[in-house]
Amino acid sequence: MKDFQTFLKEAAHVKPSARQLAWYELGFYAFIHFSVNTYTGRQCGLGDEDPAIFNPTELDCDEWVETIKAAGMKGVVITAKHHDGFCLWPSKYTEHSVKNSPWKDGKGDVLRELSDACRRAGIKFGVYLSPWDRNSKYYGTPEYNDYYANQLTELLTEYGELFMVWQDNACGEGANGKKQEYDFPRFNALIRKYQPNAVIFNDFGPDVRWCGNEAGTAREGEWAVVPGELCKRAERQTKGALIPSDPFVTQNPDRDPGALSNIIHSDGLCFAGSEVDTSIRPHWFYVPEDEPRTPENIFDLYLRTVGGNTSLNLNIPPMPSGKFDPRDVAALKEFGKLLRERLGPDSEVPCTVKKIRDEGFGRALYEIKTEAPAEIAYVEIAENIAEGQRIESFQIRRTPEGTWALCAGLTVGARKICRVSAKTDTLYLRINARDEIDLKHVKIYQKSTVAKVEKEGLF
């Protein structure tokens, strides 16, 4: 059996692929749930909807993309096909698609319009293709895997570069006794073949895993280094458990899968970062009575997710007209303003970071200095995760010693953004890591000057 130091060192060197690193860089992108459900008010279609109900006469994808960009998002993932089986593109393999809708006389293609708009605006494009299909006559038979693979190939080859392919494991209620075994290894091989830079999202990886809820809640400590038992299709980079495998621990997604108490039981660790997917409204598809999140709520969500070593996939459901609801547009644009004011270059205060004490075993104390005292509002810490994720806990402090910290947290990973309230030119950062600490950067943001001007104007 391994000794603890060897185990920790191996865990600290589990590395992301280039595509996973690029996905971490993006951090924040839009989800779009759009289908026949937009017209029926259902959240899960039955599969027998008439394609004639899909008629987004005012659809303008450049307008969608303008809002998405204004909110600081770097890409978009759209439901090319949801569980109802209706295709937003004119797939050759089914009649259940836009080609039988009155929209643009059956000549429309939402994916074409959106992928072109994304390219024009310089943001990334990705697709959600539901494995569960309540329309396809093949569903529940081995032929369904051919059907899905054919549709996937259309998406992978006809719409330019994809940054993400999003799948879930919803297998449904088994209507008519149908239950489908999805051939994910075959689907994933196709994605790798045609879109080698695209990350694959599935509940448990291989590239990006689900955070485990749809409420917008990330774990306090989100690890990208997790048991291979949980992310079955991800590549294992280590071999052998520290304490013989315990399936309850390693395969239980309700736990904190990357915590040390969990991974010591894993037979092999892999790298799979977590995505938080949630909606700007209480539902995935448009419901006129729903109210969107407020700009402050989205900012808080952003801090906990993008600023908590996960990515945020925030759903904006279009209305039957094809437009976003003006209330959602207003909330997103106002949020974008808050984001630029609070975490943009105008609020950043240059600082120097110096290791002032090395305590060994991945423990160290850093001094962070700004040129002059500043009213600090946020501190961002980033690990160089290209070499692995290592930080187990940290504290941001006014003094090097003592029990009191301005902020204390668990993981850091690609990005940790902390709310801090202190007027000072010196902060201390204590870190406890699994192996040698490799910091990519520390950034300091002062209370936004825009807010200050408003305040001065008021008083």
Give the Cα separation of 333 and 280 in Å (integer). 13
Which lies closer to ligand FUL via its Cβ, residue 168 or residue 235? 168
- x/- binding map, residues 110-149, to ligand FUL, per CB under 6 A? ----------------------------------------
* Near ligand FUL in 169-188, by CB under 6 A: 170
Nearer to ligand FUL (CB atom), residue 211 or residue 437: 211
CB of 357 to ligand FUL, least distance (A): 46
Would you say 170 or 175 has its CB closer to ligand FUL? Answer: 170
End-to-end CA distance of the chain: 67
Other beta carbons less than 10 A from residue 17's beta carbon = 16
Count of CA atoms in the C-beta half-sphere (13 A) of 236: 14
Instruction: Output the smallest distance, CB 446 to ligand FUL, in A.
Output: 37
86 contributes a contact to ligand FUL by CB under 6 A: no
Instruction: Give Cβ neighbours of residue 440 (< 8 Å, ≥ 6 apart).
Output: 382, 383, 384, 385
Distances (CA, A) of 13 to 29, 100, 240, 388, 404: 28, 52, 15, 5, 32
Measured from the CB atom, is 284 or 324 closer to ligand FUL? 284
| Interaction between residue 24 and ligand FUL (CB under 6 A) | no
Q: What single DSSP character describes residue 352?
A: E
Is there binding between residue 290 and ligand FUL (CB under 6 A)? no
Give 60 or 168: the residue with its C-beta nearer to ligand FUL.
Answer: 168
Contact predicate 22/306, CB 8 Å: no
Residue 277 interacting with ligand FUL (CB under 6 A): yes
Q: How many residues bind ligand FUL (CB under 6 A)?
A: 4
Shortest reach from residue 278's CB to ligand FUL, in Å: 9
Residue 382 DSSP label: E
* The one among 284, 299, 324, 394 contacting ligand FUL by CB under 6 A: 284
Angle, CA of 428, 304 and 74, to the nearest 5°:
110
Per DSSP, what are the bridge partners of residue 311? Answer: 275
> 146 exposed, middle or buried (CB, 10 Å; 0-12, 13-18, 19+)?
middle
Give the number of other Cβ atoms within 10 Å of residue 103's Cβ: 19
Question: Of the two residues 52 and 170, which places its CB atom closer to ligand FUL in the complex?
Answer: 170
Q: CB nearest ligand FUL: which residue?
A: 168
One-letter amino acid at 123 equals: I
319 CB burial (10 A radius; 0-12, 13-18, 19+): middle
The CB-of-270 to ligand FUL minimum distance in angstroms stands at 22
Neighbours of 453 (CB within 10 A): 10
Q: How far is the CB of 168 from ligand FUL (least distance, A)?
A: 4
Strands 269-271 and 225-227: antiparallel
Nearer to ligand FUL, 272 or 406 (CB): 272
Please give the Cα distance from 39 to 156 (Å, whole number): 28
- Amino acid 105 reads D
How remote is the C-alpha of 338 from its chain's centroid?
20
In this complex, which beta carbon is closest to ligand FUL, that of residue 155 or of residue 249?
155
Q: How far is the CB of 387 from ligand FUL (least distance, A)?
A: 32
168 binds ligand FUL (CB under 6 A): yes
CB of 127 to ligand FUL, least distance (A): 13
How many CA within 13 A on the CB side of residue 268?
A: 11
Q: Smaller CB distance to ligand FUL: residue 73 or 396?
A: 73
Q: Taking the complex as a whole, how short is the minimal distance between the CB of residue 417 and ligand FUL, in angstroms?
A: 25
In angstroms, give the least distance from the CB of 44 to ligand FUL. 6
Which residues neighbour 57 within 8 Å (Cβ) at sequence distance 6 or greater? 103, 321, 322
Q: How far is the CB of 82 from ligand FUL (least distance, A)?
A: 6
User: Closest CB to ligand FUL among 170 and 408?
Assistant: 170
Contact pattern for ligand FUL over residues 224 through 263, marking x by CB under 6 A: ----------------------------------------
- The residue ranges that bind ligand FUL (CB under 6 A) are 168, 170, 277, 284
